[in-house]
Structure 1
Amino acid sequence: MTLSSSLIGLPEITAAAERIAGHVVRTPTVESPGLSALLGVPVTAKLELLQRTGSFKARGATAKLLSLTPEERAAGVVAVSGGNHGIAVAEMAAALGIDAAVVMPESASSRTVAACRATGSDVRLTPDIAGAFALAAELQAAGRTMVHPFDDPIVVAAQGTVGLELADDAGELTDVLVSIGGGGLISGVAAALRARRPDVRIWGVETTGAEAMSAAITAGGPTPVALSSIVTSLSAPSAARLTYEHVTALVTDILVVPDAEAVRGTLDLAAHAKLWTEPAAGCLVPAARRILDRVGPGARLGLVVCGGNATFADVGAWADRFGVRD
């Protein structure tokens, strides 16, 4: 398979792995008897919810922060986030002694806002995610370095270390499922898996109302989208050209899951896999059922369980709202 020279390659991903080693966790890759019984095929889970800060985002944030020059470190950084990226930048910047400003939409959970403020970061709230990106751009123009959640080759390469570890640690897999917000995680994971396990199919999963990558594919390039999903950690206002190119080149297809099914999947992961996740990971379970309908019962699935930063109150309220509580 010949890939574009603009795509992240194995050398960049392995270099990122060396850079962030000792700063982040090599998370477990485990077979899940519970999910295997639920779905009727062997399932392996990559447990990024056990990562520092509760999600894979610590990888990209750490790699970017470690790449800064002394002058950039002194000027500080800015990040825009619906949740997990902000927590990761805030915590990892504090650990490295770098001043951070984190801009979030007002829809961000109170837990997320509190977690960022607890690190000493300057947290700014805006009415929506588009406003958050606009304010972050102003702070960048004033001298801070932007730690973008997905539109940065350094970040994408670091997120690719998830795929590198999965390729090294998992048994035989036919299909790997990865959640998509702006596309940084799936871009890196797909680049790593295509290099290490070229026959594996890679599937992206979005939630209804957070469909930046699906919209980009339909439009032939990144385009702004209206956001309405409860899954704020997947709610990017648009994909990036960088991630769009990776997904179109490397990903088999994208499935879109309604919020209600994502919440139901979160409860399934708790009941059957004994994992407390957020709907950004829960959406993988209903998507897996659809994929199995397409590829047949001989599949061996890998699920990248991207994060666990949801409270019991959050999930309970969503379950009641959508009528999916057991």
Structure 2
Amino acid sequence: MITVADVEAAAERIAGHVVRTPTVPSSGLSAFLGADVTVKLELLQRTGSFKARGATAKLLALGEDERAAGVVAVSGGNHGIATAVMAGALGIEATVVMPRSAPGRAVDIAKAAGANVVLADTMDRAFALVEELRSGGLTLVHPFDDPVVIAAQGTVGLEMAEDAGELTDVLVSIGGGGLIAGVAAALHACRPGIRVWGVETAGARAMSEALAQGGPVPVELSSIVSTLSAPSASQLTYEHAAALVTDVLTVTDAEAVQGILDLAEHGKVWGEPAAGCLLPAARRVLERVGDGARLGLVVCGGNATIADVTEWADRFGLR
């Protein structure tokens, strides 16, 4: 299990390479949800999401031979962007494997950063291809199944604990579970008694299924939210979620897209579906915990284009 000491060490390692993003109260979202809301604005992070933290920590931890071999990453979007950009900044050759469903913007940014981008037909195939490339000698920068990466993602929670007012409940989106594992470890150490809630989409329920089955299992992926579409949780992230997360809530893709629109209108921030799904989940948390809740929302990324959101809104008949 990741400790707060691991997270603090990661914070020292990545300082100067990433941004200490704002943690601020949101009057607009507080009025919209009917409860005090504080937002952690990781969409303002370098590369547009929290993923820069874990990718940077892993790249900085590599030995000379590992760096010289070059790195490989698998991603639905944000981890690929982060690995490509941060590897480029550190002078490390990177290969990024993404499914063809990944946002075109993510592919373009990774290529522009100098990475070799390989597209696979499905996310399952992307993960399998990365294993082949690692066997061929490349150094893996895993998006979530790595204690170095998890500890660095936990710096989001460490900063929230230091910068936010009193919070009762923090909501974190889940793909493979690296972010929530690190955030929950940091928050529980710094603020005992706080509740941490995970959020998934109905077509990408890797952690929900792991918790239901007592361990990671493969899941079928059908969500439009590629950045949350891990084919399974890992044993490491599952164990953290089982021990530290109050519950994992599920929202629909349509709710996640509506959440983007609501974040823009009421929170004045431009999120992606992985962040938008927090708002419908927050309503369910408030129904369960009752009056007096003070929410913290980890707005994990903002790498969605206007064209993406417009297309999704039209598909689901949203306004």
Task: Specify if TM > 0.5.
Answer: yes
Partner of 2:308: 314
Q: 1:155 offset after TM fit, Å? A: 0.2
Q: Distance in 2 between matches of 1:198 and 1:212?
A: 27
Partner of 2:77: 83
Partner of 1:45: 39
Partner of 1:33: 27
Alignment of 1:152 with 2:146, yes or no, is yes
Residue identity matched to 2:289:
V
Query: How many residues in Structure 1 have an aligned counterpart in Structure 2?
Result: 319
Identity %: 72
Alignment map for 1:270-285 (pairs within 5 Å): 270-285=264-279
Q: 1:298 aligns with which of 292, 298, 301?
A: 292
Q: Distance in 1 between matches of 2:305 and 2:235?
A: 33
Q: Distance in 2 between matches of 1:14 and 1:174?
A: 22
Partner of 1:4: none
SS of residue matched to 1:307: coil
Residue identity matched to 1:63:
A
Q: 2:163 aligns with which of 163, 166, 169?
A: 169
Alignment of 1:9 with 2:3, yes or no, is yes
Residue identity matched to 1:226:
E
Alignment of 1:231 with 2:225, yes or no, is yes
Alignment map for 1:239-254 (pairs within 5 Å): 239-254=233-248
Q: 1:119 aligns with which of 113, 123, 129?
A: 113
Instruction: Give the alignment's TM-score, normalised by structure 2.
Output: 1.00
Partner of 2:48: 54
Residue identity matched to 2:17:
H
Q: Distance in 1 between matches of 2:4 and 2:284?
A: 30
Q: Distance in 1 between matches of 2:131 and 2:196?
A: 33
Partner of 1:107: 101
Q: Deviations over 1:9-45 (max 9, x none)?
A: 0110000000000000000000000000000111000
Q: 2:90 aligns with which of 78, 88, 96?
A: 96
Q: 1:297 offset after TM fit, Å? A: 2.0
Q: Distance in 2 between matches of 1:288 and 1:44?
A: 12
Q: Distance in 2 between matches of 1:121 and 1:27?
A: 26
Q: Distance in 2 between matches of 1:251 and 1:29?
A: 21
Partner of 1:260: 254
Q: Distance in 1 between matches of 2:234 and 2:102?
A: 22
Q: 1:199 offset after TM fit, Å? A: 1.0
Partner of 2:195: 201
Q: Deviations over 1:32-77 (max 9, x none)?
A: 0000000011100000000000000000000000000011110000
Which ranges in structure 1 are unaligned for 5 or more consecutive residues? 1-6
Q: Deviations over 1:177-222 (max 9, x none)?
A: 0000000000000000010001110000000101000010111100
Residue identity matched to 1:58:
A
